[in-house]
Amino acid sequence: MTEPLNVLELFAGIGGLSLGLQRAGMRIVGHVEINAFCRAVLRKHWPEVPCHDDVRTATTWWRSKPRPRVDVVAGGYPCQPESLAGPRRGTDDERWLWPEMARVIHALRPRYVIGENVLGHRTQGLRFVLRDLDRLGYTARAGIVRACEMGAPHPRPRLFVLAHAHREGRPARRWLEPARTAPVGAGRWPAEPRVGRVVDGLPGRVDRVTALGNAVVPAVAEHIGRIILDHHQGR
């Protein structure tokens, strides 16, 4: 039986991406998340998975003790610099943290990379991400996936970047074509992540709303995970 792909998720939030990838058949081996409330949610749902608080020291943390190999580095690098609702300073914004994710990729050399961002990323920063992935030895493809296609009650379009190391075989050019965006498992489990009470009682409402607003819809993440697993298994 093939071993599951091990996932390290950066900018993990409350784990919507991890939940979907886990449902697809991957194994979550690490989280990196700066927000304390979100880390509490992660610890509640993945109590055995180590969690770190700073992407800038993620590589040092990961190598500080024996840990499993990392096959997939995934992350929704902060989208404020590209959000259509903000000033869109792009790569000039101090919150532009793709370079930190690129450093982790360079150090750990995963087989696959998953990036997630808002639609504004297409014109603010995406070309730098694709350029960096190519320089790091990855074939990448970017495309839009809508949550409503996976059973969510709202469109919530997001731009995903999928990449595989050049050594992993056939090109990924078909990964995000429209024919591959059919719903998976609609009605089988909730499309939206749930955030309950954690730690010492009720978290602040703002924390909960912010966490949900930033979360990846798990059904979308599962779909992305299955695309990668199909590629990995040669289908």
Rounded to 5 degrees, what are φ and ψ at 216? Answer: -80, 135
Strand-pair category, 27-32 with 112-117: unpaired
Q: Is the pTM of this model over 0.85?
A: no
In the chain, what percentage of residues exceed pLDDT 70?
A: 67
Strands in the chain per DSSP E? 6-10, 27-32, 51-52, 72-75, 112-117, 138-146, 157-165
Architecture label for domain 6-233? 3-Layer(aba) Sandwich (3.40)
Sheet with 6-10, edge to edge strand ranges: 51-52, 27-32, 6-10, 72-75, 112-117, 157-165, 138-146
- Answer with the residue of higher pLDDT: 152 or 109: 109
Q: Tens digit of pLDDT for each residue in 102-135?
A: 999 999 999 999 999 888 777 778 889 999 999 9
Q: Tens digit of pLDDT for each residue in 153-197?
A: 555 688 899 999 987 655 554 555 544 444 434 344 444 445 443
Instruction: Break the chain into its structural domains and give their ranges.
Output: 6-233
79 flagged as catalytic: yes
Question: In this structure, are residues 27 and 6 in contact, taking their beta carbons and an 8 Å threshold?
Answer: yes
